[in-house]
Amino acid sequence: MLEIKGLTKHFGGLAAVTEFDMSIYSGEVVGLIGPNGAGKTTMFNLITGFIPPTKGHILFEQVNITGKATHAIAAKGIVRTFQQNAFLPDMTVLQNVLTSCYLHPKSGVWEAIFNTPGYRKKEQKALHHAMEIIEFLGMDSVSDELAQSLPHGYQRLIGIAIALSANPKLLLLDEPLAGMNANEVNETLIFIKKIRSVGTTVLLVEHNMRAVMKICDRVVVINFGKKIAEGLPQKVKRNKDVIEAYLGVSEDAA
């Protein structure tokens, strides 16, 4: 589904990502792991068009998306979450999720202004869709609360809800479990499993190794911008290079 070949990104003199190759197949949950500063978020930014690569290309469903604008890539079906501030603070949860219903159903500006019946039907559909997502993630009790007044765990869920509501084919989750306690982690893992079960492919950046082992079909390891290992989670865990890269970092980072 997603093919990355020779991806390279230089920031001035610093090589953040070097000659990175990776493939993601439809329906899997892939984990992208590596020590801090290894280039994971840069990878996300490159894939979703937030920054253009220096070299290499990215193919999504056989279409070259290298260097395209983020919103165009999102329209094609790749949506990401963010490590921090993944939500719209001064709006309700419902409004947050409705934001990504912009593309489906699509409507013109004039339609909206004149409040045509066609537009109103589209709004209903969007509302319905948003509530579905909210219920899917178990947030229907707080759907009318302002996002900034909710506890941290909910806020991360809102970020996922926004991304999910855009009907992604490939969902990129940037450290979704950061700052969560054990209960919240388990709940979120259940959600990710549910997301996979409706056909969405997931690429996940995480530090929580136990979670990664539990949920990922495959794991890709990055360090200093280079791929150093790839394969089944259990195998990668025992890979010498990987252990070396993580020397000093506890496996139970949670």
Binding interface with another protein (CB under 8 A): 48, 50, 69-71, 74-75, 79-82, 85-91, 95, 98-103, 107, 109, 112-115, 119, 123, 126, 159, 162-163, 165-166
Task: Give the nearer residue to another protein in terms of CB position, either 107 or 208.
Answer: 107
Smallest distance, Å, CB 86 to another protein? 7
Smallest distance, Å, CB 29 to another protein? 20
Backbone angles phi and psi of 243, in degrees to 5 = -60, -40
Extract long-range pairs of 143-149: CB within 8 Å, 24+ residues apart.
Answer: 143/92, 143/93, 143/94, 144/92, 144/93, 144/94, 145/92, 145/93, 146/89, 146/90, 146/91, 146/92, 147/87, 147/88, 147/89, 147/90, 147/91, 147/92, 147/93, 147/96, 148/89, 148/90
Smallest distance, Å, CB 214 to another protein? 26
Total residue length of the chain: 254
Task: Give the nearer residue to another protein in terms of CB position, either 25 or 114.
Answer: 114
Distances, alpha carbon 64 to alpha carbons 2, 60, 67, in Å:
10, 6, 9
Task: Give the nearer residue to another protein in terms of CB position, either 53 or 168.
Answer: 168
Smallest distance, Å, CB 191 to another protein? 18
Smallest distance, Å, CB 129 to another protein? 13
List of residues 6+ apart from 190 with CB closer than 8 A: none
Task: Give the nearer residue to another protein in terms of CB position, either 162 or 221.
Answer: 162
List of residues 6+ apart from 132 with CB closer than 8 A: none
Smallest distance, Å, CB 245 to another protein? 28
Smallest distance, Å, CB 240 to another protein? 37
Distances, alpha carbon 85 to alpha carbons 71, 152, 156, in Å:
18, 10, 9
Task: Give the nearer residue to another protein in terms of CB position, either 33 or 133.
Answer: 133
Task: Give the nearer residue to another protein in terms of CB position, either 66 or 81.
Answer: 81
How far is Cα 79 from Cα 172, in angstroms, rounded to an integer? 6
Task: Give the nearer residue to another protein in terms of CB position, either 98 or 185.
Answer: 98
